[in-house]
A and B are shown apart, each in its own frame.
Chain A
Amino acid sequence: MLSDAILRWLHVLAGIMWIGLLYYFNFVATAATKEATAAGEAGPIAKYVTPRALLYFRWSAVVTWVFGAGLLGSITAANGMNGFLAAFSLQSNLAPIGIGAWLGTIMLFNVWGVIWRNQKKILGIVPATDEEKAKARRTAFLASRVNTMLSIPMLFFMVTGPHQSIYH
């Protein structure tokens, strides 16, 4: 169906932006900001780059999840259950993609509930003492690393979900 194809297309486009920015933060920005801070040149990164990257990062996470949920809801599992319910209750042929969906959901909560909440303190959007900022930096860093770790199995289950033969 055309609507399924469009949902899948938008889900993948938004997912590339989300995970692409997650990898940018973990593989590029963390080390680059550390070096720039040591050289006294981190100001422009924090002022111009990080807020924009975080804006696209957190909203692309929402868009990815919404289109993914819509896509699951539009299909029917082998046991006749609605695809969304079957995936999230790890039932029938949708159990593998359901694991991916749960990992993606945990990652979404991490983005909004941990990373963004702490980044607001680091960027000065909400008031915080230096001690609170240092703690927020460590918490946001670890949450971002947890998401990078979870992205590895999440993507495995997303791309192998339709290939049931590997699970038999």
Chain B
Amino acid sequence: MKNPLDSLWGTIVCGVVLTVLLYFAAAALVAHAGSV
């Protein structure tokens, strides 16, 4: 399988996907902080 980081678009798409995943992680952390 080709490494997505070999292309600029692959790098950007990976960055955007990572942003979405980490956004949900951050929202969960903030919700947890608010509930304690």
Contact = CB atoms under 8 A, between A and B. Distances in A.
A60 interface: no
Interface residues of B, number: 21
B15 A95 contact: no
Interface string B1-30: 001011010011011101100110111011
A152 B16 CA distance: 7
B29 A95 contact: yes
Contact of B25 (A99, A149, A150): A99
A149 B18 CA distance: 8
A109 interface: no
Number of chain A interface residues as a range: 20 to 34
Interface of B: 3, 5-6, 8, 11-12, 14-16, 18-19, 22-23, 25-27, 29-31, 33-34
Interface of A: 26-27, 78-79, 90-93, 95-96, 99, 142, 145-146, 148-153, 156-157, 164, 167-168
30 contacts: A26-B8, A26-B11, A78-B33, A79-B33, A90-B29, A91-B29, A92-B33, A95-B29, A95-B30, A96-B26, A96-B30, A99-B25, A99-B26, A142-B3, A142-B5, A145-B6, A148-B15, A149-B5, A149-B11, A149-B15, A149-B18, A150-B15, A151-B15, A152-B18, A153-B15, A153-B19, A156-B19, A157-B26, A167-B30, A168-B31
